[in-house]
């Protein structure tokens, strides 16, 4: 087992991390450590960590994250920031963060995202509106807009 020596993100929790399959890098964004809030983006290519941006969705923690292979974007939705929960959506293309949706499902943190490649949809389930109010809903984003998916019996 090798010990890694070199620059790396500061210790933190509630960060977002996904693997960019096209660029072959793990992408880490945001998080919190005590009173310190992070808005930095780091990438790891299996050899070194590189800080690649200080711009983007602002100080953010506990957002949903996934990799959209059709668009080549690491995508985040929601999360906690100054002023509370968010319901915006951002994409990282390896150079810049760009807002890709202004609105969507109700603002929340900890919503879980996954990309369904066969249907070209980002699927989100649940999350937390506020303590102890958790979401129990499912949404899909088709690259243009969000749509709630009602379950049988709802």
pLDDT at 2 over 70: no
pLDDT of the residue at 5: 73
pTM of the model: 0.92
pLDDT in tens, 55-81: 889 999 999 999 999 999 999 999 999
pLDDT at 154 over 60: no
pLDDT of the residue at 152: 75
CA angle 92/82/103 to nearest 5° reads 55
pLDDT of the residue at 24: 97
pLDDT of the residue at 1: 65
Distance CA 120, CA 61 (A): 26
Half-sphere exposure of 53 (CA within 13 A, CB side): 19
Q: Which residues of 84-116 are buried (b: 16+ CB within 10 A; e: fewer)?
A: ebbbbbbbbebeebeebbeebbebbbbbebebe
pLDDT in tens, 91-142: 999 999 999 998 889 999 999 999 999 999 999 999 999 888 999 999 999 9
Beta strands (DSSP E) in the chain are 16-20, 25-33, 36-44, 49-53, 64-68, 73-77, 80-81, 84-85, 89-92, 97-101, 112-116, 121-130, 133-141, 146-149
pLDDT at 48 over 90: yes
Q: Could you give the maximum distance between any two Cα atoms of the chain, in Å?
A: 54
């Amino acid at each position: 087992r090798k010990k890694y020596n070199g620059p790396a993100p500061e210790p933190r929790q509630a960060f977002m991390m996904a693997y960019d399959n096209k660029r072959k890098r793990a992408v880490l964004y945001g998080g919190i450590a005590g009173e310190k809030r992070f808005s930095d983006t780091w990438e790891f290519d299996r050899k070194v960590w590189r800080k690649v941006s200080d711009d983007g969705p602002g100080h953010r923690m506990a957002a949903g994250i996934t990799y959209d292979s059709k668009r080549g974007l690491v995508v985040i939705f929601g999360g906690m920031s100054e002023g509370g929960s968010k319901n915006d959506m951002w994409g990282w293309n390896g150079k810049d963060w760009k807002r890709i949706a202004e609105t969507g499902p109700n603002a929340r943190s900890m919503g879980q995202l996954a990309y369904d490649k066969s249907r070209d949809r980002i699927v989100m389930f649940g999350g937390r509106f506020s303590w102890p109010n958790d979401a129990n809903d499912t949404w899909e984003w088709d690259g243009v807009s969000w749509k709630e998916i009602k379950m049988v019996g709802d």
